[in-house]
Amino acid sequence: MTLSAIEANEWIRRYHPSPESRAGLVCFPHAGGSAPYFSPVSTALAPSYEVTAVQYPGRQERRHTPCIDDIGELARRSHAALTRAGVVGSGRPVALFGHSMGAVVAFEVARLMEREGGAGPVVLFASGRRAPSRFREDHVHLRDDAGIIEDIRALGGTDSRILQDRELLDLILPTLRSDYRAVERYRRGTDVRIGAPVTVLVGDSDPHTTRQEALAWGDHTSGGCEVHTFPGGHFYLEDQQAAVLRTITENLERLLP
């Protein structure tokens, strides 16, 4: 898949361009999330590492672009945009970080990077998401609006003022439903693997990912897998930002040539 430069630019955000950085880190948001969620990560890691955040369609300035409710298609278009923009395939080492839904999008992008004969990621950071082969019969995307709101309220990570603002909810609920549909329909067998190592990050009270489900990421890599557990729930990384950044940088320092 190829995209024009204009199309590619719609998909990516660089908050602190660092062309001379040692490596790049590409970040993939959670369901309902958007690229600015990773702006603090970019602030913290620049200029040593250049952070690129993927902006999926259907949110913020891309709210008029139809959502994509298929993980594989999200990954293909993300990979095409990152390649067109020179973020991947340029020779500079790249790591991938995805939270929740973003973790499986990142996994599929890693597969595409390796499949196309170029360099794969130096490491995949899979945050707040069970392994691709650990499927649950979740059907949140089939609930009514109140049911979806109940789920995101239980997970935390969403400003309570948004949940009480009907106009804002009307804007974000279609996107949330599409993202939930994409991730709830996604599944992969243990035969689907990447060569890059996987570092899993998970909250110790995350209702969506148990430690056993996190450890199962080891079934999807031949490069080794390690799991880091932090205090907190599904959005543990918001309260544990310093520890998460330390985990990222320590892994990169160890794995980069």
Evaluated on CA atoms 155, 156, 160, 163, the torsion sign reads: negative
Type of residue at 125:
F
Give me the phi and psi of 41, to 5 degrees please.
Answer: -65, -40
Catalytic residue among 21, 34, 78, 100: 100
Based on the residue annotation, tell me whether 178 is a catalytic residue of this protein: no
Instruction: Look at residues 27, 2, 9, 12 and name the one whose alpha carbon lies nearest to residue 94.
Output: 27
Q: Return d(Cα 36, Cα 111) in angstroms, integer.
A: 25
Q: Yes or no: say if 163 and 87 are a contact pair by the CB < 8 Å rule.
A: no
Neighbouring residues of 233: CB distance < 8 A, sequence distance ≥ 6: 155, 156, 203, 205, 206, 207
- Active-site residue numbers? 100
